[in-house]
Chains A and B, each alone.
Chain A
């Protein structure tokens, strides 16, 4: 059963853990304040994060990195909805969203959402942030495929991907 569980977990979620050299209240503000969130993420929301609230996000180039901002420029104006789940001060922010908005103005309202959560913990020297995005097993393949730009052929040929994919999934 171990293999199955590992694979399911691996295929269904992404988890990122980072230690930021900043005090917890500072990191909490950067996560929970929509303006600050938008600054690093590159999005503008139409209201504050409140539990149960549905917000519209509009992609805007990030203000933190000019180079990244240039890459994001073509996606300016893409919109997506989020539904806020939890806002637990100094501890957790979570929301549901559509993982891959690919067309401006497209209606994604009937498509399944993934759950994104930001969990904060004080550690020596700073704040540990864990970002988890889960629920990918519900996202239709068509949507996933559309999330890629070109270069389909290149990696379709790479049948070796399968081997590394299975090795990683089973690890």
Chain B
């Protein structure tokens, strides 16, 4: 079982995506943005029990992990999801999971 494949896209940052996702507020932000739209911090704070400042901090964490990006529009900043990055993180475990399935199938053939 080769546990890796040859060169793929270059990702410059080495960001702990999974750690960035391990927080309820950050997950809420990701879910709010997963509709595909761009949202302001005010919109993202609505319906949460955390402050605007806290949401801002969480957005920065997500941004450092490459999961969201922002654009200034007039006086406010709009945030959107970096879908590719998030999908890639999910794909990684899927790929390794599939490799384990294959390896265990070979083990089965050997012992049964």
Residue numbers of A with Cβ under 8 A of B are 1, 3-4, 7-8, 11-12, 14, 16, 18, 20-22, 26-27, 30-31, 36, 39-43, 59, 62, 64-65, 68, 71-72, 74-75, 78, 80, 99-102, 129, 131, 133, 136-138, 140-150, 152, 155-156, 158-159, 161-163, 165-166
Tell me, rounded to whole Å, the shortest Cβ–Cβ distance linking A99 to chain B. Answer: 6
Expressed in whole angstroms, the Cα–Cα distance for A144 and B94 within the complex equals 11
Cβ of B49 within 8 Å of any chain A Cβ, yes or no, is no
B90 CB contacts on chain A under 8 angstroms: 161, 165
**Would B95 and A147 count as touching, CB distance under 8 A?**
yes
Task: State which of B3, B21, B103 has its C-beta within 8 Å of the C-beta of A99.
Answer: B3
Taking the closest CB of chain B, its distance from the CB of A108, in whole angstroms, is: 10
- Chain B stretch 1-48: residues in CB contact (< 8 A) with chain A: 1-19, 21-24, 27, 30-31, 34, 36
Measuring CB to CB, which residues of chain B are less than 8 angstroms from any residue of chain A? 1-19, 21-24, 27, 30-31, 34, 36, 65-66, 81, 83-93, 95-97, 100-104, 106-112
With A7-B22, A14-B96, A141-B11 known to touch, is A30 a contact of B107 (CB < 8 Å)? yes
* A40:B13 contact, CB within 8 angstroms: no
A78 to B36, CA, bound (A): 40
